[in-house]
Amino acid sequence: MNADLPLTGKAEALLPGGEALVRSAGTVFLVGNCLPGDEISFSPVQKRRGTSRGRLIKIIKSSRDRVETPCPVAEACGGCAMQALKPALHAGIKSAWVLDAFRKSRIEQTVWIPAVEAGLYGRRRLRWYVGEEGNAVFLGFLGKNSHTVVRHHLCMTATPELNMLRVILEESAAEVCLRACKSVQALQVHDGIHVILESAAYPEKFVAPCHESGNIPLQWWHRDEKKTTPLTRPARCFHDLLPAAGEDNLSVQIGPDDFVQGQAEGNRQMIGQVIEWSRGARFVVDLFSGVGNLSLPVTGALKARVLGAELNVASVRAANANAKRLGLDARYVQANLFEKFDVEPFAGADVLILDPPRRGAKMVCGMMGRLLPAKIIMVNCDVASGGRDGELLQSLGYRLHTLRALDIFPYTGHIEAMSLWTR
């Protein structure tokens, strides 16, 4: 196949991640920036992960479901893959991704909760890359399948405070040594924003800007390949508010290296579902526990005992510190859950929570015959790996009681799958 010659085809379906399936010249391609029903011309590009991909050249005939993108750089930016699709169709398509991924595990009795049309709540965790324009530097996102930095003036999916922070950073480029950075990560929680400058060398002349983002305190950090170090001292502690019992919230301390869900309201919905599915539990196990985002609210709401495990030592330390500060009956240990581990302390839970990274939890699911929890709650950011892990659970005697699609990243090709399994 000559990569220099354009091909033509008609997009058939939108797949998880936001690329469309296009058949042409006897080959199936994945092509971005097009929708089911679009007739397109495209150029083949190098295979990635064994899959043929194409780069859109032109839309010959538009899909009837195509609308004008709200963001002027949507087609160049690598973030929001579904802006050109009618918003009313997003929830249905994303729900179908979850149903398809778990199709081999679903039974007639499985309760299905589809995604609903998501509000544009605002992302609170971003990584900008540093680009150059003339003699100035700017912050933007990487383009789709490229290392090109795409400039944007207002990201419609970010919180107002993070949009303001980007302006502050660009206006203070010299003071914060922005030109020496590869990227900047920002993490906004309830009472402040962690701003992490990522570069090989610690900046020698860093000066924190005197103004802050929407009157929200900022804590400045430097990160290299080995560690994250405060740029301003004393380092401020910031907190996330997580739902617990009734109207009560848990104030969980979050550091610059701690993982939090990138959208606050969606995270609260996820926690609420986990609490509801865990009712009646006295012993809860949380594997891939992070800083205890899901299990600290469970023990706060239900007074259950929690034992968690996580590979990242800093996250384990943070989870234990939060449990102690809040007076909760929760303990977290370090364990590599991608390899065989001692299951005895975790066996016999009333509820086992699984919130693995994109690669899934194949090793843990394969050990359920020894862990033997009464219920399993699984949260998957990658529906394909979640579906594969679900088949393994089913083979070990668990049945899919409830399946939920949760859209917490509007306009993107991302969907969360939440599933409840029983014996």
Q: Does residue 50 register a pLDDT over 80? A: no
* Other C-beta atoms lying within 10 Å of the C-beta of residue 293: 25
Whether 132 contacts 121, CB under 8 Å: no
Active-site residue identified among 34, 80, 155, 381:
381
Q: Bridge partners of 283?
A: 305
Residue 345 to residue 264: CA distance in whole angstroms: 32
Q: How confident is the model at residue 327 (pLDDT cuts 50, 70, 90)?
A: very high
Query: Helix or strand or coil: residue 149?
Result: strand
Active site residue 381: yes
pLDDT of res. 214: 67
Domain 7-66 of CATH type 3.30.70.2740:
no
**N-terminal to C-terminal alpha carbon distance within the chain:** 51
Q: Is 164 helix (H, G, I), strand (E, B) or coil?
A: helix
Q: How far apart (Å, rounded) are the C-alpha atoms in residues 298 and 277?
A: 10
Cα distances (angstroms) measured from residue 320 to each of 251, 293, 351: 14, 12, 20
Q: 390: pLDDT confidence band, cut at 50, 70 and 90?
A: very high
Question: Stretch 350-374: mean pLDDT, rounded?
Answer: 97
pLDDT for res 204: 86
The band of 118, judged by pLDDT with boundaries at 50, 70 and 90, is: confident
Q: Which two tokens stand for residue 300?
A: 């706060």
Whether residue 241 is predicted with pLDDT greater than 90 in this model: the reply is yes
pLDDT of residue 213: 66
Q: What's the CA gap between 216 and 15, in Å, rounded?
A: 38
**Is the fold of 90-119+263-422 the same as that of 125-238?**
no
Average pLDDT over the chain reads 94
pLDDT of 110 above 70: yes
Task: Choose among 197, 178, 188: nearest CA to 216.
Answer: 188
Answer for the pair 256, 194: CB distance below 8 angstroms, yes or no. Answer: yes
Are 26 and 35 within 8 A, CB to CB? no
pLDDT value for 79? 83
What is the third-level CATH fold of 125-238? Answer: OB fold (Dihydrolipoamide Acetyltransferase, E2P) (2.40.50)
Share of the chain above pLDDT 70, in %: 98
Give the pLDDT score at 397: 97
Q: What is the mean pLDDT of residues 24-51?
A: 90
Cis status, amide bond into 234, omega within 30 of 0: yes
Q: What are 169-180's pLDDT values in tens digits?
A: 999 999 999 999
CATH class name, domain 90-119+263-422:
alpha beta
Confirm if 323 and 331 have CB atoms less than 8 A apart: yes
Cα distance between residue 142 and residue 131, in whole Å: 10
pLDDT-derived band at 283, boundaries 50, 70, 90: very high
Domain segments of the chain as ranges: 7-66, 90-119+263-422, 125-238
Average pLDDT over residues 200-226: 89
Report the pLDDT value the prediction gives residue 3, as an integer from 0 to 100: 56
Answer yes or no: is pLDDT of 2 > 70.
no
* Res 105: pLDDT: 98
In contact, 307 and 285? CB cutoff 8 Å: yes
pLDDT of residue 215: 83
Start-end of H helices in 77-141: 90-101
Q: What is the pLDDT of residue 350?
A: 98
Residue 380 pLDDT exceeds 70? yes
